[in-house]
């Protein structure tokens, strides 16, 4: 700090006396500062006002123009990628419920039709084929119910249809060599990977199996648990059987599903990141072996062969957040084959209610403790935690457990 | 040791002697220091509690329960922009004349505000979009906006009219009624506190977030939060303490000790509240946070605030309100445009807009990376916020030792370095939560440590700018200084779209769960942080032109005191009854 600056700093303390005559109180100028300008007209007052107004009008107009242009989104946005044309963003006009992903498309309006639900047509340029669907191409859409994937689509990103709350079905053209669908659920062609079970798939199943009753807000009304149809409803709508050919459950595949039971095949090797993320009603994760299953509809356990209350034997990889926020689950069994458990894989599956622990209160593991610690790579906080004396405590692991047949 | 004891004894004697009457050359008795602790403490903590409720994307209520698209907030901003310019004109005119307007002008303004309210209410009752051809490009454009449709756009537009009219009329009415008695900074607490408490309760209990259609949810939520925002509960009392004394050293003392001690209220609330929330089944996502925890905490703090608010005073040397300089509209405009130091601040703010639209990365770090909740969350937040307390107690020393220019340049550079380190940690060690978390917490600790002295300096610079404005124009023109926002607003609103659009590309929309996807979270945090780093480096430039030192400030205060003294003397000679003046 220079001497000059120190001197300036000490001027806090220095008393200053200014001798200002009474008639100069509004005009007295402090040395080094601009002179006061009180109740006096400014020079070139009119011109200054004019310039001021013009500058403001131009600035605001330009800003509005660019801002409005920026937030305006085309319904369909495409990018050129190495494989061809990628659907990079779909912004719903608010009325599109069925979306075809096959050719480059645009929306055209029929100005003679005042009904906003029907006054548009989606025009397709059949010379330009869509070959891929990029990440977050549809993001938090609340209107689209059905997506039709064309024959030439070679790649669909696992995050392509993120949080499409109304999406009930994804249909794939049967000539597509890369993908297929099984009753509205997206798989790769040889059905070794299940890619996306739509968020509102249960609404489709409810319609299909004759449970479609809706309240005044349009929400599906389920049969009450004491209703004689309830058990059948759970089997038809709230239970899903992953086909026996499946080796991988894709990233975000089942997220936000309305599911109570899921049956996984013994051949399953990988559950990707967030594979079963936030399924608040998911109570049971079963595995089955011995049966060739291609129908995803649950009929009976006998049709599935042997059924275990366990993740499937042969499973090797459990991705991060794979089962997180599923508080209805109350039993987890990790088979011997598992070698990787990602961070927060079972996060928030335990909670306290009236002082009592509920949900997944212990994780059952097939391996011996030392073997588990040596052979299984685990991520941070892979075990769920609960409130314990004002802090958080991870639940226990029970080693050397036998899996339970159902 | 004995020296220390002697000092403590001297301090005790000093406090006892001047408990009710201030020492010579000072203005604030020590009893008022005690009142500042309770008044500012509860007001500050209450205003901090309200930060959990707001119509912005980072509010947990909005992100978890309302699930509104991120870009919709930018769309609403653009819809409100034109009216914002017009309403700002009237607002500044009213505020900078402290609500004391010629009768005819006052009637005209009430009329304009009433029309605005009627129009606003009519847009809510009727769907104006039906007046247009539903196939026109205008309606199609509105229907295509993120999270909106034509109906929602008209209702949102109308809501802003209703809000502007309502707030404007209240502003004239209550200012005139309460300002002479309670002063310019705390009067609003007296008229707003009860309706604010009611609105805090309603926000939690009205099930607006259950509306199934997103566009309807947007406009109804906008209406609800606009009504909530009509009533303020800002950190008024701390602002009041910035003008608690005309003595600069005393202002700094009050800000460095009682005001800082008062912030412990917030620290305590900041520990207890998250700990209680952590006990709820769905923690932050539990609606009971907004139904019980926040309203109860807020109402308790509001009661404390009102109990102590009357015990602290503002002491700006100023003529009595009836004798104050009347500010004409254009004089107000040009008055602030001639203030060089406001211009410096404006340029700094303009550069700062580069970071607009950025998500609160500390929240993301705590909730989505480390999954903190309950007491561990409280403790880490407290640990980091505590980092600022020791240097804050030394603020008077630092403010004497270094010039404001040096302090502010240092501040911007530390922000740039800190954010760059966090971005690097997230990018390169994002997979290792322990290492990444440790680096981030340590960096945030140091950033907090180096933040408090510049914050105190910044507050003092703001007050000095207002003092200088009062010297220049005869009034503080706090509202008219918003004219700079007219020039910067168009640029900032456009620049502020950059980050939301980037985030949309990385998957960030109305569902915050996307932050659980590691790769998306990394992009969503790191890319805006880098933009912010560039902003902080550029923000050092305007401060090189700051030359308003303490000597100039002291001379300005002398001029203000003299003006107040002469004006009050003249009023007394003329036999007029006056109020609200302060000679100092």
Q: How far is A156 from chain B (nearest CA, A)?
A: 15
d(CA A366, CA A402): 6
Q: Is B86 on the interface with A (CB under 8 A)?
A: no
Rounded mean pLDDT, B400-428 = 91
DSSP letter string over A117-170? TTSEEEEEEEEEEEEEE-TTSEES-SS--EEEE-TT--EE-TTTEET-TT--EE
% of chain A beyond a pLDDT of 70: 96
Instruction: Please tell me which of the candidates A55, A114, A135 has its beta carbon nearest to residue B134.
Output: A114
Which pLDDT value is given to residue A215? 81
Instruction: Please tell me which of the candidates B136, B473, B516 has its beta carbon nearest to residue A274.
Output: B516
pLDDT surpasses 90 at B151: yes
Beta strands in A160-260 (DSSP E): 161-162, 169-172, 179-182, 185-188, 193-196, 239-241, 248-249
Chain B residue numbers touching A64 (CB-CB < 8 A): 78, 81-82, 490
Name which of A12-26, A199-213, B277-291, B428-442 the model is least confident about: A12-26
Q: Kindly state the tokens that stand for B453.
A: 């002295």
Q: How far apart are the first and last CA of chain B?
A: 39
pLDDT surpasses 60 at A12: no
d(CA B216, CA A142): 13
Which pLDDT value is given to residue B492? 76
Name which of A121-125, A400-404, B368-372 the model is least confident about: B368-372
CA dist A32 → A11, A125, A353, B504, B525 (Å) = 16, 70, 69, 50, 45
d(CA B168, CA B113): 6
Higher pLDDT, B482 or B515: B515
Instruction: Please tell me which of the candidates A26, A56, A70 has its beta carbon nearest to residue B474.
Output: A26
Q: How far is B128 from chain A (nearest CA, A)?
A: 15
Q: Kindly state the tokens that stand for A278.
A: 């936030």
The answer to whether the beta carbons of residues A340 and A304 sit under 8 Å apart is no
Cα torsion B404, B409, B414, B420 to 10°: value is: 160
pLDDT surpasses 80 at A349: yes
Give the residue from chain A lying closest to B376, CA to CA: A391
CA dist B198 → A289, B195, B304 (Å) = 60, 5, 17
% of chain A beyond a pLDDT of 90: 65
Chain A residue numbers touching B491 (CB-CB < 8 A): 59, 63
CA-nearest of B440, B418, B416, B417 to B428 is B440
Instruction: Please tell me which of the candidates A119, A344, A348 has its beta carbon nearest to residue B134.
Output: A119
Report if pTM > 0.95: no
| Range from A341-350, B144-153, B258-267, B530-539 that averages highest in pLDDT | A341-350
pLDDT surpasses 80 at B322: no
> In chain B, which among 376-435 make CB contacts under 8 A with chain A?
376, 400-403, 433-434
Mean residue pLDDT of chain B comes to: 85
d(CA B431, CA B218): 36
Q: Is B458 on the interface with A (CB under 8 A)?
A: no
> Residues near A56 by Cβ (< 8 Å), separated by ≥ 6?
B85, B486, B487
* Residue B406 CA, distance from chain mean position: 25
Instruction: Please tell me which of the candidates A63, A68, A71 has its beta carbon nearest to residue B491.
Output: A63
Q: How far is A184 from chain B (nearest CA, A)?
A: 24
Chain A residue numbers touching B131 (CB-CB < 8 A): none
Every domain of chain B and the residues it spans? 549-584
Give the residue from chain B lying closest to A15, CA to CA: B554
Q: Given an 8 Å threshold on Cβ–Cβ distance, is B559 in contact with A1?
A: no
- How many contacts, defined by CB atoms under 8 Å, are there between A and B? 232
pLDDT surpasses 70 at B325: no
> In chain B, which among 220-249 make CB contacts under 8 A with chain A?
248-249
pLDDT tens per residue, range B189-228 = 999 999 999 999 999 999 888 888 889 999 999 999 999 9
Q: Given an 8 Å threshold on Cβ–Cβ distance, is B507 in contact with A135?
A: yes
User: pLDDT category, B43, cuts 50, 70, 90?
Assistant: very high
Chain A residue numbers touching B212 (CB-CB < 8 A): 217-219
Between CA B30 and CA B42, with CA B36 as vertex, the angle to 5 degrees is 155
Q: Given an 8 Å threshold on Cβ–Cβ distance, is B471 in contact with A75?
A: no
User: pLDDT category, A45, cuts 50, 70, 90?
Assistant: confident
Which pLDDT value is given to residue B318? 67
Chain A residue numbers touching B72 (CB-CB < 8 A): none
Q: Given an 8 Å threshold on Cβ–Cβ distance, is A63 in contact with B494?
A: yes
Give the residue from chain B lying closest to A59, CA to CA: B490
Instruction: Please tell me which of the candidates A48, A64, A219 has its beta carbon nearest to residue B81.
Output: A64
CA-nearest of A266, A406, A276 to A336 is A266
Q: Given an 8 Å threshold on Cβ–Cβ distance, is A67 in contact with B497?
A: yes
Which pLDDT value is given to residue A11? 47
d(CA A353, CA A296): 35
Q: Which of B80, B284, B342, B494 to mutate to test the interface with A (most CBs of A within 10 A)?
A: B494
Q: Kindly state the tokens that stand for A80.
A: 């050129």
Q: Given an 8 Å threshold on Cβ–Cβ distance, is A9 in contact with B401?
A: yes
Q: Which of A39, A91, A94, A273 to mutate to test the interface with B (most CBs of B within 10 A)?
A: A94
Chain B residue numbers touching A391 (CB-CB < 8 A): 374-376
User: pLDDT category, B323, cuts 50, 70, 90?
Assistant: low
The answer to whether the beta carbons of residues A240 and A261 sit under 8 Å apart is yes
pLDDT surpasses 70 at A2: no
Chain A residue numbers touching B149 (CB-CB < 8 A): 94
Chain B residue numbers touching A18 (CB-CB < 8 A): 555, 558-559, 562
> Residues near B217 by Cβ (< 8 Å), separated by ≥ 6?
B66, B68, B208, B209, B211
pLDDT tens per residue, range B427-439 = 888 778 788 888 9
Which pLDDT value is given to residue A242? 97
Mean residue pLDDT of chain A comes to: 89
Q: Given an 8 Å threshold on Cβ–Cβ distance, is B400 in contact with A217?
A: no
| Range from A59-73, A287-301, B379-393 that averages highest in pLDDT | A287-301
Q: How far is A337 from chain B (nearest CA, A)?
A: 24
d(CA B498, CA B37): 41
pLDDT surpasses 70 at B582: no
Q: Given an 8 Å threshold on Cβ–Cβ distance, is B559 in contact with A278?
A: no
Chain B residue numbers touching A93 (CB-CB < 8 A): 140, 143-144
Give the residue from chain B lying closest to A255, CA to CA: B513
Rounded mean pLDDT, A301-306 = 92
d(CA A168, CA A257): 11
Q: Given an 8 Å threshold on Cβ–Cβ distance, is A71 in contact with B375?
A: no
Name which of A194-208, B323-337, B412-426 the model is least confident about: B323-337
Give the residue from chain B lying closest to A116, CA to CA: B134
Chain B residue numbers touching A25 (CB-CB < 8 A): 559, 562-563, 566-567
Which pLDDT value is given to residue B581? 52
Chain A residue numbers touching B490 (CB-CB < 8 A): 59-60, 62-64
pLDDT surpasses 90 at A132: yes
Which pLDDT value is given to residue A387? 81
Q: Which of B273, B516, B547, B571 to mutate to test the interface with A (most CBs of A within 10 A)?
A: B516
d(CA B340, CA B465): 9
Q: Is B212 on the interface with A (CB under 8 A)?
A: yes
The answer to whether the beta carbons of residues A91 and B145 sit under 8 Å apart is no
Q: How far is A178 from chain B (nearest CA, A)?
A: 25
Q: Given an 8 Å threshold on Cβ–Cβ distance, is B507 in contact with A55?
A: no
Which pLDDT value is given to residue A1? 44
Which pLDDT value is given to residue B576? 62
Q: Maximum distance among all alpha carbons in chain B?
A: 87
């Amino acid at each position: 700090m220079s001497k000059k600056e120190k001197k300036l700093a000490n001027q806090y303390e220095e008393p200053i006396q200014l001798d200002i005559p009474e008639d100069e109180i509004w005009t007295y100028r402090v040395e080094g500062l601009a002179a006061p300008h009180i109740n006096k007209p400014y020079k070139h007052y009119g011109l200054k006002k004019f310039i001021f107004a013009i500058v403001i009008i131009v600035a605001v107009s330009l800003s509005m123009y660019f801002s409005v242009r920026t937030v305006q989104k085309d319904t369909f946005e495409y990018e050129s990628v190495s494989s061809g044309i990628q659907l990079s963003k779909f912004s719903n006009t608010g009325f599109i419920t069925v979306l075809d992903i096959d050719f480059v498309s645009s929306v055209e309006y029929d100005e003679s039709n005042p009904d906003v639900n029907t006054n548009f047509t989606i025009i397709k340029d059949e010379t330009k084929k869509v070959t891929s669907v990029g990440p977050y191409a549809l993001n938090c859409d609340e209107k689209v119910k059905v997506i039709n994937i064309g024959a030439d689509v070679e790649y669909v990103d696992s995050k392509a249809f993120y949080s499409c709350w109304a999406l009930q079905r994804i249909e794939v053209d049967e000539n597509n060599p890369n993908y297929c669908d099984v009753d509205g659920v997206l798989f790769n062609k040889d059905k070794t990977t299940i890619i996306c079970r739509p968020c509102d798939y249960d609404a489709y199943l409810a319609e299909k199996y004759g449970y479609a009753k809706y309240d005044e807000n349009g929400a599906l009304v389920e049969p009450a648990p004491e209703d004689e149809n309830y058990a059948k409803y759970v089997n038809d709508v709230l239970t899903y059987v992953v086909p026996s050919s499946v080796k991988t459950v894709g990233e975000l595949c089942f997220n936000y599903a309305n599911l109570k039971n899921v049956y996984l095949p013994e051949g399953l090797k990988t559950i990707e990141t967030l594979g079963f993320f936030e399924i608040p009603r998911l109570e049971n994760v079963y595995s089955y072996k011995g049966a060739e299953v291609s129908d995803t509809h649950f009929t009976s356990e006998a049709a599935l062969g042997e059924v275990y209350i366990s993740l499937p034997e042969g499973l090797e990889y459990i991705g991060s957040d794979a089962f997180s926020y599923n508080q209805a689950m109350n039993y987890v069994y990790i088979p011997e084959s598992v070698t990787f458990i990602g961070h927060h894989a079972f996060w928030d599956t335990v909670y306290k209610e009236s002082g009592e622990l509920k949900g997944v209160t212990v994780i059952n593991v097939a391996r011996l403790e030392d073997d588990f610690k040596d052979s299984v790579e685990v991520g941070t906080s892979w075990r769920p935690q609960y409130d314990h004396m004002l802090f958080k405590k991870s639940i226990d692991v029970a080693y050397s457990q036998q899996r339970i047949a159902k | 040791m004995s020296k220390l004891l002697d000092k403590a004894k001297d301090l005790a004697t000093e406090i006892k002697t001047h408990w009710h009457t201030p020492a010579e050359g000072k203005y604030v008795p020590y009893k008022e220091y005690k009142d500042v602790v309770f008044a500012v403490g509860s007001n500050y903590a209450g205003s901090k509690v309200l930060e959990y409720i707001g119509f912005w994307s980072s509010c947990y209520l909005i992100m978890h329960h309302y699930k509104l698209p991120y870009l919709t907030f930018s769309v609403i901003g653009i819809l409100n922009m034109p009216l914002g310019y017009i309403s700002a004109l009237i607002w500044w005119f009213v505020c900078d004349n402290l609500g004391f307007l010629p009768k005819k002008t006052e009637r005209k303004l009430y009329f304009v505000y009433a029309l605005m309210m009627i129009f606003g209410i009519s847009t809510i009752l009727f769907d104006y979009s039906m007046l247009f051809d539903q196939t026109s490009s205008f309606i199609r454009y509105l229907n295509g906006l993120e999270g909106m449709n034509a109906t929602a756009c008209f209702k949102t537009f109308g809501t802003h009219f209703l809000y502007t009219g309502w707030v404007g009329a209240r502003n004239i009415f209550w200012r005139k009624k309460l300002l002479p008695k309670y002063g310019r900074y705390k009067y609003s607490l007296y008229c707003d506190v009860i309706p604010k408490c009611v609105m805090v309760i309603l926000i939690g209990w009205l099930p607006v977030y259950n509306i199934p259609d997103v566009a309807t949810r947007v406009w109804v939520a906008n209406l609800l939060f606009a009504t909530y925002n009509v009533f303020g509960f800002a950190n008024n009392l701390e602002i009041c303490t910035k003008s608690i004394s005309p003595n600069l050293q005393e202002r700094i003392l009050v800000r460095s000790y009682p005001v800082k001690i008062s912030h412990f209220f917030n620290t305590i609330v900041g520990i207890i509240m998250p700990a209680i929330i952590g006990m709820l089944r769905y923690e932050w996502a539990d609606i009971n946070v907004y139904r019980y925890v926040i309203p109860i905490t807020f109402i308790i703090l509001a009661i404390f605030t009102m109990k102590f608010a009357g015990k602290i005073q503002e002491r700006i040397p100023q003529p009595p309100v009836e004798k104050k300089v009347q500010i004409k509209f254009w004089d107000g405009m040009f008055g602030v445009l001639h203030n060089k130091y406001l211009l410096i601040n404006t340029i700094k703010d303009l550069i700062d807009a580069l970071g607009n639209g950025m998500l609160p990365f500390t929240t993301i770090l705590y909730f989505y990376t480390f999954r903190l909740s309950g007491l561990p969350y409280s403790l880490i937040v407290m640990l980091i916020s505590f980092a600022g307390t020791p240097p804050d107690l030394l603020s008077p020393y630092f403010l004497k030792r270094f010039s404001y220019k040096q302090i502010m340049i240092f501040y911007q550079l530390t922000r740039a370095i800190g954010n760059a380190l966090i971005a690097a940690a997230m990018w390169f060690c994002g997979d290792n939560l322990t290492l990444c978390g440790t680096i981030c917490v340590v960096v945030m600790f140091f950033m907090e440590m180096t933040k408090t002295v510049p914050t105190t300096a910044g507050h003092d610079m703001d007050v000095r700018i207002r003092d200088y404005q009062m010297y220049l124009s005869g009034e503080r023109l706090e509202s008219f200084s918003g004219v700079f926002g007219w020039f910067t607003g168009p640029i900032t609103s456009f620049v502020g779209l950059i980050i939301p659009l980037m985030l949309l590309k990385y998957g960030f929309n109305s569902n915050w769960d996307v932050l659980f996807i590691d790769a998306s979270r990394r992009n969503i945090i790191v890319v805006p942080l880098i933009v912010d780093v560039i902003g902080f480096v550029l923000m050092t430039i305007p401060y090189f032109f700051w030359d308003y030192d303490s000597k100039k400030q002291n001379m300005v205060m002398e001029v203000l005191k003299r003006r107040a003294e002469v004006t009050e003397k003249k009023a007394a000679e003329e036999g007029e009854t006056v109020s609200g003046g302060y000679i100092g």
